Structure 1
């Protein structure tokens, strides 16, 4: 695997930390900026929406740029808005920086996926995808708890400065390690690549990716109150417990990345079925600490093994859209990251308790299985009818 892909993974780690760390910083930010908790929560929503809108928008906007230039522009912009966010005393300014940061993050990830695919053989897209998404899982293991610790020790602004510090080596490394585009590189046709969205397999992979990742983030977002109120763990153990889920996620991405290139269908079918059973078992047995510990790890591993495989399959299906394929994959991932927490919040708001997100995750996986089965059945009937 080219070293430059690991450098891109480092930048994705910093950006993933920024995306998810706010869950532990919202109370301090609300108090410091003198806004309500619900208003401060808009910072998370704004980032998620910016990621969804920004992926295709930024990919199209930068389609004529040299890819190294695009990566550096997005990453330096991402760092700059975190500097502004760390210095400002205005909630409105901070909200704008989160939106701009999300646009830069989305653009970077879309271009990074495209660059990574161009640097590996055609049959290694799954492994390359796992390296980049591994940055997200490491953010769950290390970055998010680390951001919470920094927030407790020195305030939420310290976490923003940490994002800048982590990102700085990636800027230097991208300048030195990322290959420049060849002089004969043709300018991609955005309209022709966008037409790939009409391909049934790509649309199917996008839908399944959004559903599976939605299930993941639906439960992950509300693990803290579940673990303390239902499972009975002391709050001081939360960083370790969340880290256990993140460790499983990292291993799932690593193992899934290898299988995604050789046996993707088997991984998706078996993994999704076991994932569904796991969410149901978790919902039923969440009050048992020993079962909870085991399921935190296994559900993290299965969620990201299946989710990352679907993202890699988006890239395979978008083979004729090498520049914008990464933006399609980024949208699928972040639609799930926005859909899941919203569904979890709605079910909790209905008075169904903190087990509700687990049942919601199970429902999303079940829908994904039904959609996949229906698509497979339709394709099978089509083949039979032509025989």
Structure 2
């Protein structure tokens, strides 16, 4: 009999309500972070900036997410964890209001910086918080709920943003997220229990992991993979508008197909990981994603070909985080919290750099250039992974 089985019904309800409130917060954070992907063109036009500059709205949130993910643990150790999480959600609420009201590109970037702090802070604390909220045997189920919020936002945020943005304007889309975040804040305030401060993990311990050869190669591959993916993903709308000739409604269909395919990618990766295909997946998934990216560039002039490539892109891209999370649990099992913080920082830094690279290529070369640049980074990632031996701690030792 598990611990949760002997808990009072009210305590179990409170526990899962708290986890549910965190899952909704994750969904809102992901939706807010990547909404500009589907609204890049109207944002750039309204704020009198280039599309490449507007894409930096994702990059700037990535930069501040890196800072938050590295610094939040020492800061949070001084306060009740409940209050810290509520502060992150409140910060997201403020940022969304500022984005919707932004009178200029500078204000947009300030608002996105605040959002980045919320993203990095919340994600860096999420796993450790779940461990404190639920019994050990229920941690996998609780984490599954958290990542389901991620999957739902990935699937529906971008297409809904493109569709509603076409009808009502991009500012209304961001305003539309505000009531959901406010409800989420109230839900968290009601369901999250007090979680007194615990001893913090110093930054020196986190960065000390990079002295391990396997971790250093792993983080390099992580950054190349995510930078390559987001150099492309951030600028899919300009490419599809210019090369495929889609309007707002067709764009929403393509993005919905990409998002729905991510569920298949997540499920397939999980099934293959159970058969111990971790290192082949880490090598071949970025290569396959690069191939599909180049295929989109070559065949994207036809709508149905673009739709097929977008679905393939979504499935492959969704499988990658599942594999790297498994690698983290397997190869840094002795330092899961430090490894998790390092992974969040690496991913967010990669999102920032990938978005910046793609924006520069878009502004100075062509709408297809971000796809070429992204594919190149993905190929480099596969080269770093190699046959996987350099990512394994036992071999490196």
Question: Normalising by structure 1, what TM-score?
Answer: 0.81
| SS in structure 1 of the partner of residue 32 of structure 2 | helix
Q: 1:11 aligns with which of 16, 22, 25?
A: 25
Structure 2 residue corresponding to 1:343, chosen from 334, 348, 357: 357
Count of aligned residue pairs for this structure pair? 379
1:209 paired residue number: 222
Deviation at 1:330, TM superposition (A): 1.7
Deviation (angstroms), 1:212: 1.6
- Rounded to whole Å, the distance in 1 between the matches of 2:96 and 2:173 is 10
Alignment of 1:221-236 (within 5 A): 221-236=234-249
CA 1:342–1:311: 2 relative to 1, 3 Å: farther
Change in 2 beyond 3 A, CA 1:259/1:216 = same
In structure 1, list runs of 5 or more residues that go unmatched: none
For the structure 1 residues 289 and 280, does the alpha-carbon distance in structure 2 shift closer, same or farther, using more than 3 Å as the test? same
Residues 282-318 of structure 1 deviation map (CA, whole Å, 9 limit, x = unaligned): 3443344433322211221111202332144335544
1:100 and 2:83 correspond: no
Contact map agreement 1:59 1:324 (CA 8 A) in 2: no
Matching of residue 365 in structure 1 with residue 389 in structure 2: no
Equivalent residues of 2:24, 2:184 under 8 A apart: yes
**Aligned partners of 2:240 and 2:43: how far apart in 1?**
24
Counterpart-to-counterpart distance in 1, 2:295 and 2:239: 14
- Residue 362 of structure 1: CA displacement? 2.5
Distance 1:309 1:86 in 2: 36
1:223–1:100: structure 2 CA closer, same or farther, 3 Å change rule? closer
Query: How many angstroms apart in 2 are the aligned matches of 1:261 and 1:111?
Result: 27
Alignment of 1:19-168 (within 5 A): 19-25=33-39, 35-37=48-50, 42-87=56-101, 89=103, 92-116=106-130, 119=134, 131-168=145-182
1:300 partnered with 2:314: yes
CA distance in structure 2 between the partners assigned to 1:88 and 1:379 by the alignment: 47
Native 8 Å contact 1:134 1:254 kept in 2:
no
Deviation at residue 98 of structure 1 after TM alignment: 2.3
Task: Assess, with a 3 A threshold, how the Cα gap between structure 1 residues 149 and 234 changes in structure 2: closer, same or farther.
Answer: closer
Contact kept in structure 2, 1:130 and 1:254, CA below 8 Å = no
Displacement after TM superposition at 1:198 (Å) = 2.8
Deviations 1:297-354 (A, max 9, x none): 1221111202332144335544444444433222222223222233333434453x43
Task: Using the TM superposition, give the Cα deviation of residue 378 of structure 1 relative to its aligned residue in structure 2, in angstroms.
Answer: 9.0
Preserved CA contact (<8 Å) 1:110 1:324: no
SS of the aligned residue for 1:57 comes to helix
The alpha-carbon deviation at position 103 of structure 1 amounts to 0.8
Residue 278 of structure 1 corresponds to which residue in structure 2? 292
Gaps of 5+ in 2: 5-14
| Partners of 1:339 and 1:67 in 2: CA distance | 31
C-alpha distance 375-66 of structure 1, shift in aligned 2 (>3 A): same
CA 1:188–1:61: 2 relative to 1, 3 Å: closer
1:208, CA displacement in angstroms?
A: 1.8
Give the superposition deviation at 1:240: 0.6
Query: Take 2:164 and 2:102, find their aligned partners in 1: how far apart are those partners?
Result: 18
Show the counterpart of 1:252.
265
User: Does residue 188 of structure 1 match 2:186?
Assistant: no
Alignment of 1:354 with 2:360, yes or no, is no
State whether residues 73 and 200 of structure 2, in contact with CA within 8 Å, keep that contact through their aligned partners in structure 1.
no
Are the counterparts in 1 of residues 55 and 235 from structure 2 also a CA contact under 8 Å? no
Task: Decide whether aligned partners of structure 1 residues 342 and 29 sit closer, same or farther in structure 2, where only a CA change above 3 A counts.
Answer: closer
CA distance in structure 2 between the partners assigned to 1:288 and 1:159 by the alignment: 29
Shift of 1:369: 1.3
* Structure 1 residues 376-387: aligned runs within 5 Å: 376=389
Cα deviation code 1:131-189 (max 9, x no counterpart): 545434433432223334444444443333322222233334434555654x7x75133
* 243-252 vs 115-124, which moves further: 115-124
Shift of the 53–247 alpha-carbon distance from structure 1 to 2, 3 Å rule, reads same
Question: 1-side partners of 2:100 and 2:363: how far apart?
Answer: 32
